[in-house]
Structure 1
Amino acid sequence: MLALILGALLLLVTACGGGGGSGAGDGDSNDGKGAGKVENAASVAVVTIAPKDEAKAVATTGALKVSADKGKLTTVTVQDDKGNPVEGKLTADGTSWEPLRHLAGATKYKVHAIAKDAEGRESAKDTTFTTLVPKNTFIGHYTPEDGSTVGVGMPVSINFTRGITEPEAVEKAITVTAEPSVPIEGHWFGNDRLDFRPEKYWAAGTKVTVKLNLDGVEGRPGVYGEQAKSVTFTIGRSQVSTVDASAKTMKVVRDGKQIRNIPITAGAPSTTTYNGQMVISEKYAVTRMNGATVGFGGEYDIKDVPHAMRLSTSGTFVHGNYWASSGTFGSANVSHGCVGLRDIRGGGNNGTPSAWFYNSSLIGDVVIVKNSKDKQIAPDNGLNGWNMSWSEWIK
C-alpha cells in the first residue's frame, strides 16, 4: 500500500516538473521573441504636460498644454481643487490639447492625460500645478442687479475698476445669453466700460444670464481679474414712452398700446433737452437737484424733487415738478433740460401724473425724446447705447 502511494506521488511530481522542463523553455522562447512580447510590451506613446508637475506661480493663460508623441491623446481631464472641470480643445490629429479659456488665479489644478500608440497600447500621465497669486486685481461693477426685473431697454453694463488694455481677453471671459435666444453683442466705451445688448429692445419676459468669468484674466499687464459670478435678470412688460418736446406731451405705450398721454415741460430754449433714446437707470422717490453739480452754477438747488428717474449721467431726469404752475405742463418748456411732470411737494402716491408715471415705470424702461432743439444724446451718457446703429455697435 505504501509503495502505491509513493508511486502516485512520484507521478504527480514528474508531471508538474515536466511542465517546467523543455515545454516551459519553448514557452519562454515565444514570450521573448513571439506574439506574447508584442501584446505585453509598453506603449511607445509619450504624454507631455506643461507646466511641470508641482510647478508654482504658473501663468493663467498660455502655460497649460498637453501633447502626445508617437501616439494620439484619447483622454485629457483638468480640474481645479474644487472639482470644476476646465474645458479644452483637442487638435484634429489628436496630438495636442489646450484649454479653451484662461485659468483662475491662486488655484491648484490636476491634469490627467492618456494617449494610445499605433498598436492601441495606452500611456498615462498625471500632474498638478498651482497658478500665480495676483498682486494687482480688478473687478467689474455690473448693472442690472441679480434677480431684478427690468424694462426692455436695459443693457448689461459693466464698469471695470482698472482701465483695460486687453479688451478681447476680458470680453471673451464674459458671456451674456437670453431665453428665448437672441444675438447679443458687446461694445466698449473707452477702456473701462463694456455694455452688451441685442439689436433691438429685449422682448418682454426674456430671461437674461450674465457670467463673469474674470478670475485670472490679465486685463492689463500684471493686473488680473478676481471675479467669478453669475447674474440673472428678467425683462418685464414692454413700456416705451415718447416725449415730444415741441408738442409738450409724453405718450406712454405699454405692450404696444398707448395707455396715457401726459402733459410735460421740457428744456427751456437756452437749456434744451437732449433728443434720443434714453433708459431709466435710477429711481428716487425724493432727491436733491443742485445746478452746481451739472454745470449750472447756483441757478437752482431743490432739496426735495419728487419722483425722479435718471436718464443720463450728465443729469437728465424725468421727474415731478411742484414749483411750476399747473398751466405750465403741456404749454411751455421751462426746465434746465429735464422732462417735468406735474406733481405736489412731498411726492408719495399722490395721484398726480408724475406719481402715476413713477409707479408705472421700471429701471430699464425707455424714454424717447424727439423734436427738441438739441443734439442727440451720446450713447455713453447713461445707458443709452440704443442711439448707435447695430453696425456701429458691433464694429
Structure 2
Amino acid sequence: MALICGALLLAATACGGGGGSDAGAGDAKAGDSTKSASKQSQAVVTIAPKNGAKAVDTSGALKVTAAKGKLTEVKVEDAKGTEVAGSITGEGATWTPASHLAAATTYKVHAVAKDSAGLTSAEESSFTTLTPKNTFIGNFRPEDGSTVGVGMPFSIRFTRGITHPADVEKAITIKTEPAVDVRGHWFGNDRLDFRPENYWQAGTKVTVRLNLDGVEGRPGVYGKQAKTVSFTIGRSQVSTVDAKSHKMVVKRDGKVLKTLPVTTGKPGYDTWNGQMVISERLVVTRMNGETVGYGGEYDIKDVPHAQRLTDSGTFIHGNYWGGGAFGNYNASHGCVGLRDVRGGYDKSVPASWFYNNSMIGDVVVVKNSNDRTVAPDNGLNGWNMPWDEWIK
C-alpha cells in the first residue's frame, strides 16, 4: 500500500513539474512578443490620394508625408513602369512630384520612412487620374527630324487659348548640344516660341520634350500630347536685302556666297524692314492681291520659287514679269523679287539659284526700306524683339 501511495505521489509531482515548465514557456513567449512590439517603427507614412481613388487631379493631388520619422524612399510609377520624378523636402517630411501627372493613368506609390531609432515603415497605394472631357494639343514647327536654318525658332500653336501659360510652358523642356540658353515667349494666348538670344550655332542639335498630357491649360481643358521632337541646325545662311541699292548679299557661314539683283516694294507698298525667317517653300504658287488686302491689283497663278517671310504675305520669290526692275528700282507690292523665267525651268537665273540654296529657317534681313520693322509675331520673326523683352 505504501508503495502504491509513493508511486501516486511521484506521478503527481511529475505532473506538477510539467505544469511549472509550461508556465515558464508561456512567460518566455510573452516576453518575446513585448520585445518584438518594441522594435516596430514609430514612423507613419501617409499617401494622398487614398488607395483606390479615381478621377484624381493631375496637379496638386499627389503628396506623400511622414510623421514621427523621415521619408527615405518614394517611388511612383505608371503601369508601364515609367517613374514620376519628385523630391523629398522638409528634412524628410514631404515628397511631391516635379511636374503634373498624365491623364487617365493608373499610378502605384511605394514609400518608406525611418524613425529616430532607425526602424523603417512602408506604405503602398494606387490611384487613377481623371479622364478629361476637353483637350488641347500644340501644332509645332519645325518638323521632327528636320534640318533647318540658324533663324528657326521652335514655334508651337495651341488648339485652345491658354489661360495657365506658366504650367504649359513648364511642361515643355528644350535641350541643346552644344548647350545654349533657350527661352520661350508668348504671342497672345495660343502661340509660344522658343529661341536663344542670338541665331543658333550651325550644327546645334535640339531636342524638345512636349510633356503636355495632363496639363490643365485652361479650366477643365487638358493637354493630351506627349512627344519628343528633335531637329538639327544646318549651315548658317543670312541674306541681306538693301532696298535702296536693290541688291541682296547672301552669306554662308559668314562669307559672301553671292550678290543678286532684286526689286522690293514700290512706294506705298514698301517691304518690311527687319530680320525675317523663311517659313515655307513653294516651287510654284498663286498670288492674289485680294488675299492680302490689295483688291484685284494682281492675280498671278504661277509665281515660281516662292519662299514665305511673313504670315501677312511677304515672300521672296521668282519674278518673270519685272522687266528691268531687278537691281534698278522697286516695283513689287511688298515682296522681294528675283529675276526668273515663267515655269521656273532655268536653273541659272537668280531666283532658281537662291531657292535651291535655301532652307526653312534661313534668315533674310531687309534694310533701308521706307516701311517700319516687321512685327515679331508676323511670321517666325521674333528676332526683331530685344532679348530683355523676350525673356520678360
User: Residue 137 of structure 1 corresponds to which residue in structure 2?
Assistant: 135
Which residue identity lines up with residue 389 of structure 2 in the other structure? Answer: E
Match of 1:350 among 344, 347, 350: 347
Which whole-Å deviations, capped at 9, do the CAs of 1:332-380 have from their partners, x for residues lacking one? 1000000000000111452111000000001000000000000000000
User: Residue 117 of structure 1 corresponds to which residue in structure 2?
Assistant: 115
User: Residue 188 of structure 2 corresponds to which residue in structure 1?
Assistant: 190
Q: Taking structure 2 as the reference length, what is the TM-score of the superposition?
A: 0.93
Which whole-Å deviations, capped at 9, do the CAs of 1:180-205 have from their partners, x for residues lacking one? 00000000000000000000000000
User: Residue 204 of structure 2 corresponds to which residue in structure 1?
Assistant: 206
Which whole-Å deviations, capped at 9, do the CAs of 1:80-131 have from their partners, x for residues lacking one? 1111100011114101101010001111111011111111111111111000
1:168 aligned counterpart, secondary structure? helix
Structure 2 CA distance for aligned equivalents of residues 315 and 19 of structure 1: 105
Which stretch has the larger CA shift, 89-98 or 247-256? 89-98
1:264 aligned counterpart, secondary structure? strand
Match of 1:333 among 318, 330, 333: 330
Unmatched runs of 5 consecutive residues or more in structure 1: 1-16
User: Residue 9 of structure 1 corresponds to which residue in structure 2?
Assistant: none
Runs of 4 or more consecutive aligned structure 1 residues displaced over 6 Å after TM superposition: none
1:357 aligned counterpart, secondary structure? helix
In 1, are the aligned partners of 2:144 and 2:229 still within 8 Å (CA)?
A: yes
In 1, are the aligned partners of 2:238 and 2:250 still within 8 Å (CA)?
A: yes
Which residue identity lines up with residue 335 of structure 1 in the other structure? Answer: S
In 2, are the aligned partners of 1:72 and 1:116 still within 8 Å (CA)?
A: yes
User: Residue 390 of structure 2 corresponds to which residue in structure 1?
Assistant: 393
Match of 1:376 among 358, 366, 373: 373
In 1, are the aligned partners of 2:58 and 2:214 still within 8 Å (CA)?
A: yes
Which residue identity lines up with residue 41 of structure 2 in the other structure? Answer: S
1:361 aligned counterpart, secondary structure? coil
User: Residue 258 of structure 1 corresponds to which residue in structure 2?
Assistant: 256
User: Residue 32 of structure 2 corresponds to which residue in structure 1?
Assistant: 31
Q: Is 2:274 the counterpart of 1:273?
A: no
User: Residue 12 of structure 2 corresponds to which residue in structure 1?
Assistant: none
Shift of 1:31: 3.1
Q: Taking structure 1 as the reference length, what is the TM-score of the superposition?
A: 0.92
Unmatched runs of 5 consecutive residues or more in structure 2: 1-17
Structure 2 CA distance for aligned equivalents of residues 291 and 182 of structure 1: 42
User: Residue 320 of structure 1 corresponds to which residue in structure 2?
Assistant: 318
Structure 1 CA distance for aligned equivalents of residues 30 and 348 of structure 2: 103
Structure 2 CA distance for aligned equivalents of residues 92 and 99 of structure 1: 14
Match of 1:171 among 169, 172, 189: 169
2:263 aligned counterpart, secondary structure? coil
User: Residue 125 of structure 2 corresponds to which residue in structure 1?
Assistant: 127
User: Residue 360 of structure 1 corresponds to which residue in structure 2?
Assistant: 357
2:117 aligned counterpart, secondary structure? coil
Match of 2:305 among 307, 310, 323: 307
Structure 2 CA distance for aligned equivalents of residues 348 and 179 of structure 1: 40
User: Residue 221 of structure 1 corresponds to which residue in structure 2?
Assistant: 219
Structure 2 CA distance for aligned equivalents of residues 81 and 312 of structure 1: 45
Which residue identity lines up with residue 392 of structure 1 in the other structure? Answer: E
Structure 2 CA distance for aligned equivalents of residues 88 and 301 of structure 1: 59
User: Residue 286 of structure 2 corresponds to which residue in structure 1?
Assistant: 288
Shift of 1:165: 0.3
Shift of 1:26: 7.0
Which residue identity lines up with residue 228 of structure 2 in the other structure? Answer: S
In 2, are the aligned partners of 1:283 and 1:307 still within 8 Å (CA)?
A: yes
Number of aligned residues: 377
Shift of 1:272: 0.3
Which stretch has the larger CA shift, 110-119 or 22-31? 22-31
Structure 2 CA distance for aligned equivalents of residues 19 and 345 of structure 1: 117
Q: 1:297 to 1:118 in 2, by over 3 A?
A: same
In 1, are the aligned partners of 2:340 and 2:346 still within 8 Å (CA)?
A: no
Q: 1:32 to 1:52 in 2, by over 3 A?
A: closer
Which residue identity lines up with residue 340 of structure 2 in the other structure? Answer: D
Which whole-Å deviations, capped at 9, do the CAs of 1:124-152 have from their partners, x for residues lacking one? 11111000000000000000000000000
1:308 aligned counterpart, secondary structure? strand
User: Residue 41 of structure 2 corresponds to which residue in structure 1?
Assistant: 43
Query: Within 5 Å, which residues of 2 pair with 1:101-112?
Result: 101-112=99-110
